[in-house]
Amino acid sequence: MANTNGKAATSLPEKISAKANPEANEATEIAGNILYHAKYSPHFSPLKFGPEQALYATAESLRDRLIQLWNETYVHFNKVDPKQTYYLSMEYLQGRALTNAIGNLNLQGPYADALRKLGYELEEIAEQEKDAALGNGGLGRLASCFLDSMATLNLPAWGYGLRYRHGLFKQLISQKGQEEIPEDWLEKFSPWEIVRHDVVFPVRFFGSVEINPDGSRKWVGGDVVQALAYDVPIPGYNTKNTISLRLWEAKARAEDLDLFQFNEGEYELAAQLRSRAQQICTVLYPGDATENGKLLRLKQQFFLCSASLQDIISRFHERSTTEGSRKWSDFPSKVAVQMNDTHPTLAIPELMRLLMDENGLGWDEAWDVTSRTVAYTNHTVLPEALEKWSQSLMWKLLPRHMEIITEIDKRFVKTIRDTRVDLEDKISSLSILDNNPQKPVVRMANLCVVSSHTVNGVAQLHSDILKAELFADYVSIWPNKFQNKTNGITPRRWLRFCSPELSDIITKWLKTDKWITDLDLLTGLRQFADNEELQSEWASAKTANKKRLAQYIERVTGVSIDPTSLFDIQVKRIHEYKRQLMNILGVIYRFKKLKEMKPEERKKTVPRTVMIGGKAFATYTNAKRIVKLVNDVGDVVNSDPEVNEYLKVVFVPNYNVTVAEMLIPGSELSQHISTAGMEASGTSNMKFALNGCLIIGTLDGANVEIREEVGEENFFLFGATADQVPRLRKEREDGLFKPDPRFEEAKQFVKSGVFGSYDYGPLLDSLEGNTGFGRGDYFLVGYDFPSFMDAQAKVDEAYKDRKGWLKMSILSTAGSGKFSSDRTIAQYAKEIWNIEACPVP
């Protein structure tokens, strides 16, 4: 970090003058504008200009530009008044914003030069930024990729979410395994968000329903908190269009402080409402084992829905006043609301309530508007992830909404009774309310399906399963309601910016950089897959990325890895269905075999570095045991002098978007090995494939389509198929399963205590027995293990053929065009939202 005179730039450089210049394009002007922010929008002690100050000032200089584009975008949207999409999601995994904003605005060169003039490299400043981690995993990252594509495609759209003070926890790895500590992205402040003090809506909780003399109903009493808007700019790539991610924060008003009580010394009592308001946006996914935890989560969901819908309706109203009254029946031709999974389901009864109780519509009219406005994306078939809320909790927190939900259910059930006698015995599973006296609940997915005009799954196989199983009876009622929208990823963040080396090579060979917004052009690489020159350039880009990754791994884990070994990566949330356990058991078997070999035999093997990363939910014990096992195996293998030249095992701590941007470009093999039928789509599989990384995987989620696109000879397939799974589970129950000796050997090796004294019994027990809770190998690790090991052997063989491998790698990238989120979003826009591009001229 040396400036031009070789000194660290920790105080404001004097040679360049600080000058506000929001439209700066050229390095010196940009540098002046950065200094202007450092000096006149200060957040730190005067005149300090260390890397952190440089980050904030740089971000603010960019924000100037974004604000301008933003204003132009909204002036234009206002003028054209197109139909707009509102994407409601409890999660966004935005990661860092600096490199992305500079890249999307195409200001890479000038910004790098400007910072150099100020004594810094752009990369080291970018490194200072904390990830905005307002999500868990794939679902949240998908929402963020979607925003990038909406902006890039010039679509009139908004993202709505919550401004969690602490995003997803930070994962520390200690001798105990995973430990969680609060994440701190807002500890100082975020330079990207802009608070809109004029955009505030009241959101009520609890209270009761009042019936007016005319029969209309009104929700009154209870707690009222304020939702305040914070907007984050989302710049499109190579376009002026810049849209908003609007994040709500919960607040109390000044008058909610009870001054009398406060002066009596009752500080906590006096500020009760304030503290209850603050709880709402404190963390993403508060633990929900307790009643309080459940209540808080439900509050969060309602808070998002209510604030967003009030905002949407007020935008619709604004028009009415300027243009003379607009008809409510036009609402669905101006507004599309997309619910990202069931978390924002309360948007349905809240829209009904706002229309009926606040705006005087009758039931039929309100229902017509609502059901033509909302659409629902399902992201999982796992029963434990399908939300069901206790009816009593809902009556307590949202009494008016429960009335509405009950009415929706009643009318739905009546229609079925009247029109579909054949479904009579299905009514108990089709209805929204599950009135089982033991545990009466509201089934959120059912409410979504009944109320939405469109329901979609996120990969072809997943959508087929939804139609054939989970929602089969609904399909018989509404055959045209169900669609597939295979997920996608933004090629900007996940190739152009995270691997500039490979991107430049692609641009050179395709003779255009248009692939960045038209990813199908990558097929143009196929004709060069055998070309030695391309192969050697490809290899050198990969090697550079692998070296960078190796340095990172050494820095964060202390383990030194060999950049010439095969880099094999599995990164995702830790879950039994994702089968990190199968991966590590495979590694354990490999380790045992390497130990048994003579030195000359070992020399013939393909050296491998296996990296596994991901967070386990804090209360998911078996997932945490898996993390511990991977770490223990790593400790033993990496310090074994006989073997560690041929095998290294690394647990990559605190996996997040930024870590992914480092890992994916440096990967050669990645594992997507879920039990078939259980991973709805997966999206990191797409990122890896796009970066020329080969996949070892099952026929699950989007793997199926990736394999189709890249070619089956470029995909290491193994394992049972989704349609075989029920039979295999049954056979297991019947005691017909015969384990492969390799599988028994691997488990036995763990039990022998080679990897330390930690009790792996409970984890391994899940693979034993044929039935019983937490037993009987529900995820078919034992069944798939032999074919997994065979596929791994094919990987080793293939890797020995360097040219063959490079060809496969090129073909993998060449076949990834389909997985651009631009394609996905264009399909949503056309087939679900019915919106059109509205480019700022």
One residue of 85, 681, 809, 816 binding ligand NBG per CB under 6 A: 681
Spacing of C-alpha 694 from chain mean position: 22
Indicate the residue among 341 and 632 with the shorter CB distance to ligand NBG.
341
Stretch that binds ligand NBG, among 131-139, 438-446, 501-509, 820-828 (CB under 6 A): 131-139
CB of 380 to ligand NBG, least distance (A): 4
CB of 212 to ligand NBG, least distance (A): 41
Residue type present at position 436: N
Stretch that binds ligand NBG, among 275-283, 680-688, 736-744, 794-802 (CB under 6 A): 680-688
Under rule CB under 6 A, residue 149 binds ligand NBG: no
Indicate the residue among 644 and 824 with the shorter CB distance to ligand NBG.
824
Question: Which residues in 479-518 contact ligand NBG (CB under 6 A)?
Answer: 487
> CA 646 to CA 584: how far, in whole Å?
16
Active-site pick, 687, 707, 732, 747: 687
> CA 168 to CA 64: how far, in whole Å?
29
Active-site pick, 141, 297, 334, 572: 572
Indicate the residue among 620 and 737 with the shorter CB distance to ligand NBG.
620
Stretch that binds ligand NBG, among 138-146, 282-290, 410-418, 754-762 (CB under 6 A): 138-146
Q: Please, are residues 475 and 645 in contact by the beta-carbon 8 Å criterion?
A: no
Tell me whether residue 428 is exposed, middle or buried, using C-beta atoms within 10 angstroms of its C-beta: 0 to 12, 13 to 18, 19 or more. Answer: exposed
Beta-bridged to residue 232, according to DSSP, are: 245
Q: Which long-range contacts (CB under 8 A, 24 or more apart) does 682-686 make?
A: 682/138, 682/459, 682/487, 682/572, 683/138, 683/141, 683/142, 683/145, 683/487, 683/488, 683/489, 684/138, 684/571, 684/572, 684/660, 686/487, 686/488, 686/489, 686/494, 686/816, 686/819
Count the neighbouring beta carbons within 10 Å of the beta carbon of residue 831: 13
Angle between helices 821-828 and 138-152 (to 10 degrees): 80
CB of 575 to ligand NBG, least distance (A): 8
Under rule CB under 6 A, residue 138 binds ligand NBG: yes
HEC string for 443-503: EHHHHHHHHCCEEEECCHHHHHHHHHHHCHHHHHHCCCCEEECCCCECHHHHHHHCCHHHH
Under rule CB under 6 A, residue 385 binds ligand NBG: yes
Is residue 572 flagged as an active site residue? yes
The phi-psi region of residue 620 (left if phi > 0; otherwise alpha if psi is between -120 and 50; otherwise beta) is beta
Is residue 379 flagged as an active site residue? yes
Indicate the residue among 452 and 487 with the shorter CB distance to ligand NBG.
487
Question: Which residues in 435-474 contact ligand NBG (CB under 6 A)?
Answer: 458
Under rule CB under 6 A, residue 387 binds ligand NBG: no
One residue of 332, 701, 719, 782 binding ligand NBG per CB under 6 A: 701
φ and ψ of 287, to 5 deg: -50, 140
Q: Please, are residues 85 and 338 in contact by the beta-carbon 8 Å criterion?
A: yes
CB of 453 to ligand NBG, least distance (A): 20
Stretch that binds ligand NBG, among 215-223, 254-262, 490-498, 677-685 (CB under 6 A): 677-685
CB of 114 to ligand NBG, least distance (A): 37
Is residue 83 flagged as an active site residue? no
Q: Please, are residues 699 and 680 in contact by the beta-carbon 8 Å criterion?
A: no
Under rule CB under 6 A, residue 705 binds ligand NBG: no
Active-site pick, 96, 379, 546, 672: 379
CB burial string 21-52: b at 16+ within 10 A, e below? beebeebbbbbbbbbbbbbeeeeeeeeebebe
Stretch that binds ligand NBG, among 255-263, 306-314, 379-387, 394-402 (CB under 6 A): 379-387
Is residue 542 flagged as an active site residue? no
> CA 65 to CA 163: how far, in whole Å?
23
Under rule CB under 6 A, residue 249 binds ligand NBG: no
φ and ψ of 666, to 5 deg: -95, 10
> CA 94 to CA 145: how far, in whole Å?
8
Indicate the residue among 268 and 384 with the shorter CB distance to ligand NBG.
384
CB of 281 to ligand NBG, least distance (A): 21
Indicate the residue among 138 and 817 with the shorter CB distance to ligand NBG.
138
One residue of 379, 493, 624, 747 binding ligand NBG per CB under 6 A: 379
Stretch that binds ligand NBG, among 136-144, 286-294, 497-505, 736-744 (CB under 6 A): 136-144
Active-site pick, 39, 548, 573, 595: 573
Beta strand residue intervals within 552-666, DSSP E: 566-571, 608-613, 647-652
One residue of 399, 488, 682, 697 binding ligand NBG per CB under 6 A: 682
CB of 392 to ligand NBG, least distance (A): 25
Spacing of C-alpha 268 from chain mean position: 37
For 402-450, give the DSSP string.
Answer: HHHHHHHHHHHHHHHHHH-GGGGGGHHHHSSEE--TTS-EEEHHHHHHH
Indicate the residue among 245 and 678 with the shorter CB distance to ligand NBG.
678
Beta-bridged to residue 648, according to DSSP, are: 609
> CA 652 to CA 657: how far, in whole Å?
13
Residue type present at position 188: K
Residue type present at position 609: T
Alpha helix (H) ranges present in 770-815?
781-800, 802-814
Under rule CB under 6 A, residue 695 binds ligand NBG: no
Under rule CB under 6 A, residue 30 binds ligand NBG: no
One residue of 38, 69, 93, 142 binding ligand NBG per CB under 6 A: 142
Indicate the residue among 245 and 750 with the shorter CB distance to ligand NBG.
245
Indicate the residue among 353 and 379 with the shorter CB distance to ligand NBG.
379
Indicate the residue among 589 and 833 with the shorter CB distance to ligand NBG.
833
CB of 340 to ligand NBG, least distance (A): 9
Indicate the residue among 384 and 533 with the shorter CB distance to ligand NBG.
384
Q: Cα 99–105–108 angle (5° rounding)? A: 55
Active-site pick, 683, 698, 813, 824: 683
Under rule CB under 6 A, residue 139 binds ligand NBG: yes
The two three-digit tokens of residue 768, written as one number? 């034993």
Nearest to 517 by CA among 13, 29, 103, 77: 103
Stretch that binds ligand NBG, among 243-251, 362-370, 681-689, 785-793 (CB under 6 A): 681-689
Tell me whether residue 418 is exposed, middle or buried, using C-beta atoms within 10 angstroms of its C-beta: 0 to 12, 13 to 18, 19 or more. Answer: exposed
Binding residues for ligand NBG, total number by CB under 6 A = 16
Under rule CB under 6 A, residue 683 binds ligand NBG: yes
Indicate the residue among 171 and 545 with the shorter CB distance to ligand NBG.
171
Q: Which residue matches tokens 């070994």?
A: 565
One residue of 249, 256, 668, 679 binding ligand NBG per CB under 6 A: 679
CB of 774 to ligand NBG, least distance (A): 21
Question: Which residues in 334-353 contact ligand NBG (CB under 6 A)?
Answer: 341
Q: Please, are residues 813 and 525 in contact by the beta-carbon 8 Å criterion?
A: yes
Helix (H, G, I), strand (E, B) or coil at 600: helix
Stretch that binds ligand NBG, among 28-36, 438-446, 591-599, 674-682 (CB under 6 A): 674-682
Q: Which long-range contacts (CB under 8 A, 24 or more apart) does 29-38 make?
A: 30/61, 30/107, 30/110, 30/111, 30/113, 30/114, 31/114, 31/115, 31/117, 31/118, 33/61, 33/64, 34/58, 34/61, 34/114, 34/115, 34/118, 35/118, 36/61, 37/61, 38/12
CB of 377 to ligand NBG, least distance (A): 7
Is residue 687 flagged as an active site residue? yes
Interaction site with ligand NBG (CB under 6 A): 137-139, 142, 341, 379-380, 385, 458, 487, 679-683, 701
Catalytic residues: 379, 572-573, 578, 683, 687
